[in-house]
Structure 1
Amino acid sequence: MAQPRLLLTRPRPGAETFLARLSPALRVGAVISPLIEIVPNDASPDLTSYAGVIFTSANAVAHAPAGKGRPAYCVGPQTTQAATAAGWQAQMPGLDAEAMIAALSGRTELGPLLHLAGKHRRGDVAGVLSKTGLQVDVATLYDQRLLPLSEEAQALLHGDAPVLVPLFSPRSAAQFAQAATRTDAVLAVSISAAAAEALEALPLRAHDIAAEPTGEAMAEAVEKLFRRTTLP
């Protein structure tokens, strides 16, 4: 069997960062075909009335005002690292939104907070936290527009080699399921059970779920599936 090829569907900056995490064998011949395009709306939220912010995505950090030492409550290590680099006093209450909500629920002394986010977000972080007494508002900084798979990506899916496809969100997984014209050679790695659900109806050669919803865990899962597929 031919050695698997890698297909990355994240927006290009995130795809290139993830690719750099992987071993040289996986980087050879990798194809990047973003399924989501980040489109900023040039919003400039007024933070003066807030004690801090919430980030659930590194994309939000990239389109937010400078931190200037203000508190930021972040989901996952990648977002926390990005917020720290942008000048926020960043801390990570959880690896995912559910864990963060559990950690911040009822902590009224932290607020009011502003959730800086994209147009499409999974769950109502602000609404759920506000019901616990912690006031949280939302400011939308960008849209995440869906894109088709490129001709190069479709050709890869129709080639002779298996195709390793890491999927980093339920929305991108659903878009891949709709856009891919062939999937029976796909070795999928989903970041969560929610993302994996979007692929349930597809014929796949293999499908793994990362141990936790982080870039590091996704890289480990991709490497393991690659080794499992290439070992005699």
Structure 2
Amino acid sequence: MQGTCTAGNTAVTRKQCRSLAMPQPRLLLTRPQPGAAQFLERLSPALRTGAVISPLIEIVPTGALVDLAAFAGVIFTSANGVAHAPQGGGMPAYCVGPQTTEAAGKAGWQAQMAGLDAKAMIATLSGRTEIGPLLHLAGRHRRGDVAGILNASGLTTEVATVYEQHLLPLTAEAQTLLKGSDPVLVPLFSPRSAQHFAREAGHTQSVIAVSISHAAARALEGLPLYAHDVAAEPTGEAMAKTVEKLFRRTTLP
């Protein structure tokens, strides 16, 4: 029996697949700068060629004055928090994910990764009263009440909102790319950006979506997509690997 593959929603033989001569996918990056450019550098040259960057979120500092004198350490749930925080001066920082941890270390914090996502970080820190009080340096829009949950566990935690996340429309270039018949790889790095993409995208039939988490993936339910996958873990490295995998799967016979 001949093997089969999928072209759109149709199962065809491997021989037929080879004759379809599917165009090479283009990449559409929607994460804020400089994160979009940094992610692009992780990818192979074939993916970088012709990539379109159309951030759906703009990161803007709030100008909040942060006084660390009353705290024994801080929490970072994103690299944006690090970018808009004071220099660490060797103070402990409990971070979500390897990229945020690396950024905090470079900014002078005594950085340690407390989990791959906020849920894992909360599990790691809950009840550890000896490391507090802590200050969560965060954005205006955040998933879950990290400080509230940690406070309930006995670990005193406050929040300082150091940046805003303003929603942006997809650019005309991005909309034109989506209207075409060629496949478009779209990595989505948060539930909020996935929700906004679902509202903004005029056409999604050619979209190969890559979601950073199942929460982000749920925001795309109901959209007509060419294909959809979820990264193995919520990290930039796992997202890059998934994008590369789907790119190869789409272009190789």
TM-score under structure 1 normalisation?
A: 0.99
Deviation at 1:83, TM superposition (A): 0.1
What is the rounded CA distance, in whole Å, between the counterparts of 1:159 and 1:97 in structure 2?
Answer: 37
Q: Which has the larger radius of gyration?
A: 2
Letter in 2 for 1:168: F
1:180 aligns with 2:201: yes
Q: Structure 1: state its 5+ residue gaps.
A: none
What is the rounded CA distance, in whole Å, between the counterparts of 2:134 and 2:64 in structure 1?
Answer: 17
Once the two structures are superposed, the pairs formed by residues 42-53 of structure 1 within 5 Å of their partners are 42-53=63-74
Letter in 2 for 1:146: L
Aligned residue for 2:244?
Answer: 223
Deviation at 1:85, TM superposition (A): 0.2
Contact 1:44 1:65 in 2 (8 A): no
Once the two structures are superposed, the pairs formed by residues 1-232 of structure 1 within 5 Å of their partners are 1-232=22-253
Letter in 2 for 1:130: N
What is the rounded CA distance, in whole Å, between the counterparts of 1:118 and 1:46 in structure 2?
Answer: 17
Percent of aligned pairs sharing the same letter:
75
The DSSP-based 3-state class of the residue aligned with 2:239 is: helix
Deviation at 1:161, TM superposition (A): 1.1
What is the rounded CA distance, in whole Å, between the counterparts of 2:112 and 2:125 in structure 1?
Answer: 12
What is the rounded CA distance, in whole Å, between the counterparts of 2:207 and 2:156 in structure 1?
Answer: 44
The DSSP-based 3-state class of the residue aligned with 1:137 is: strand
What is the rounded CA distance, in whole Å, between the counterparts of 1:173 and 1:4 in structure 2?
Answer: 20
The DSSP-based 3-state class of the residue aligned with 1:12 is: coil
What is the rounded CA distance, in whole Å, between the counterparts of 2:167 and 2:247 in structure 1?
Answer: 28
What is the rounded CA distance, in whole Å, between the counterparts of 1:8 and 1:168 in structure 2?
Answer: 10
Contact 1:162 1:185 in 2 (8 A): yes
Contact 1:66 1:86 in 2 (8 A): yes
**Number of residues paired by the alignment?**
232
Root-mean-square deviation (CA, aligned residues, Å) is: 0.5
Deviation at 1:160, TM superposition (A): 2.6
Letter in 2 for 1:105: S
For residues 14-49 of structure 1, what are the alpha-carbon distances to aligned partners after superposition, in whole Å with 9 as ceiling and x for unaligned? 000000000000000000000000011111211000
Deviation at 1:51, TM superposition (A): 0.1
Q: Structure 2: state its 5+ residue gaps.
A: 1-21
Contact 1:12 1:32 in 2 (8 A): no
4+ long deviations beyond 4 Å: none
For residues 179-225 of structure 1, what are the alpha-carbon distances to aligned partners after superposition, in whole Å with 9 as ceiling and x for unaligned? 00000100000000000000011000000000000000000000001
